[in-house]
Amino acid sequence: MSERFRLTLAQLNPTVGDLAGNAQAARLAWQAARAEGADLLVLPEMFIAGGGARDLAARPAFSAQAGRVLAALAAECVEGPAILVGGPWSGEGAVFNGCFLLSGGGIRHVVGKRHLQGAGGHDESPSFAPAPVSGPLAVGPLRIGCLIGADATDGEAAETLLETGAGILIVPDCATYGEDRELRLNRMVARVVETGLPLIWLNMTGGQDNLVFEGGSFGLNPGGALALRMPLFDDALVHVDLEHEGDGWRIAQGERHRFPDPLEQDYRAMVTGLRDYMGKSGLARALIGLSGGLDSALVATIAVDALGAENLRCVMLPSEYTAQGSLEDAAAVAAALGCRSDLMPITAAQGAVTQTLAPLFAGRAPDLTEENIQARLRGLLLMAIANKFGEMLLTTGNKSELAVGYCTIYGDMAGGYDPICDLYKTRAFDICRWRNENHRPWMRGPAGIVIPERVISKPPSAELRPDQKDSDSLPDYRLLDPMLEILVGQEGSVADCVAAGFDQTTAERVARLVAMSEWKRYQAAPGPRLSARPFAGGRAYPLVNRWREAE
């Protein structure tokens, strides 16, 4: 007769620093697990502290309080399943990234993470010390090999756990959207093939700063067959049966969720990032300068889907260079989304600033300075509204503009969060059309066309001088974005751009603009990571740098 062991996998969304709230979420999951007859509840890496806690998790007072919260949770959860939960672990004069086994009213064992992630916005290496080697954890008839996050990339660690009696590998993680999902799966399959053990990889959900934890937890049986897969982005509590036959444990076949198409994934990540950045900050209402262009229309749509139309204010701030069509397009977007819109022309303010500066600027022709004044006046007025009404100003710079510095510091870059900062302009066109054609239950905005086709199809323009077009200053985005992907996404060179068929002079200019704009990006608002090489957390270039690729 085969043995059975029931796991409850809790793919949940913790809040950084909310130790009591995260413990309550664990408690509710434990109650559900107990009701289903589970033997063990598993929660993700660093769940009690919140994913992306960084140096906060290693702060002695914080890690000590986390330990007390875990001890209290263990004392409360006596009659029921054991709990495996991640959190900071203080010991031996250091703080480790740990996974705690709570059972019988106390903390029975702690496993530490050895391989710390050392790059990107999720860098752990300054916060934690590498932990000593740990053996399997015993829960009833099951011996568990626990590999926290990047520890599962180490084949020797998995082999050691097999040799010391592990019957299954469990990998609590806090992996983010934009990481190489296929590489991760291949590594987990490799551990299964090498050891012959089943493996469960458990992720968290939700947004934190520039990170979005994507969920998508899964289980693999010996040989690498997919036994179950949980949804992307959604919280889920799944009860999984393990069955022990003569040749070891196997995961009973469960639901295997299909992942949505890449455009939907990007859009969902942006909505999730904004929703949690606002919600976890205690902010409810957002504000945006709506220009009639594509980027601000897309950010407004993301905001409505994340927060609801009642929680977004759109302000149109026309100047003498704003086309009537742009005002009409902005009004159409606000009306389609159902959010408040206000009109605040900047012409009088612009005239006052021009008059004030006239004595100093006498004899000098108008140039980029006067264009930037318009952007900064808009930023000034929008920040005043945000302050007065307790709203967060959202900025609307896409990755293409941020890459080449086609944005005004303290102007259109003003704001607390940029939902599209890792989205290339050409991708933004595709996302807008996708949103017009699709609606999902997690969207709080209306179905149907919310971004008029004219907004999507008209030539992009900052409208800071007569008849201005983005293409006056930049290559066409259909040329620019592939070059940026080579130079930024792949860390390639001008020569790589030329080899891909691009004009050398244009590639040299784009590379120079990217290098010269590092200081602007350093001061840019945070936003969700969508790619393997986001500017926030994905690159670490100096602000002052004389090196330029040989031309």
Residue stretches of the annotated binding site: 181, 289-296, 372, 396, 401, 520
Q: Which of 231, 419, 443 has its CA nearest to residue 337?
A: 443
Handedness of CA 129, 529, 523, 290 (dihedral sign): negative
Residue list, annotated binding site for L-glutamine? 181
Strand, helix or coil for residue 1? coil
Structural tokens at position 322: 């704003």
Cβ contact 464:371 at 8 Å: yes
**Catalytic residue from among 3, 76, 79, 113:** 113
What angle, rounded to 10 degrees, do the helices at 425-437 and 294-307 form?
A: 50
Residue list, annotated binding site for ATP? 289-296, 396
List 201's β-bridge partners, or say none: 171, 218
End-to-end Cα separation, the chain, in angstroms: 73
Strand 286-289 and strand 392-393: the pairing is parallel
Helix (H) or strand (E) holding 100: strand 94-103
**Catalytic residue from among 45, 371, 391, 463:** 45
Catalytic residue list contains 45: yes
> DSSP for 442-478?
T--SPSS--S-HHHHHSPP---SSTT--GGGTS--HH
Catalytic residue list contains 388: no
253, burial (CB in 10 Å: exposed 0-12, middle 13-18, buried 19+): middle
Q: How far apart are CA 309 and CA 286, in angstroms?
A: 10
Cβ contact 255:362 at 8 Å: no
Cβ contact 394:287 at 8 Å: yes
Q: E strands along 264-422, which residues?
A: 286-289, 312-316, 340-343, 392-393
Q: How far apart are CA 131 and CA 112, in angstroms?
A: 5
> DSSP for 300-315?
HHHHHHHH-GGGEEEE
Instruction: Determine the residue type at 83.
Output: I
Structural tokens at position 368: 């980029």
Residue list, annotated binding site for deamido-NAD(+)? 372, 401, 520
Q: Which whole-number Å values give the CA distances from 8 to 72, 174, 175, 477, 483, in the listed order?
A: 21, 17, 19, 47, 46
215 Cβ contact partners less than 8 Å away, ≥ 6 residues apart: 11, 203, 204, 205, 230, 231, 232, 233, 234, 235, 236
DSSP state of 59: -
Residue 64, sorted as left (phi over 0), alpha (psi -120 to 50) or beta, turns out to be alpha
CA 103 to chain centre: 33
Strand 40-42 and strand 82-91: the pairing is parallel
Residue length of the chain: 551
Enzyme catalytic residues: 45, 113
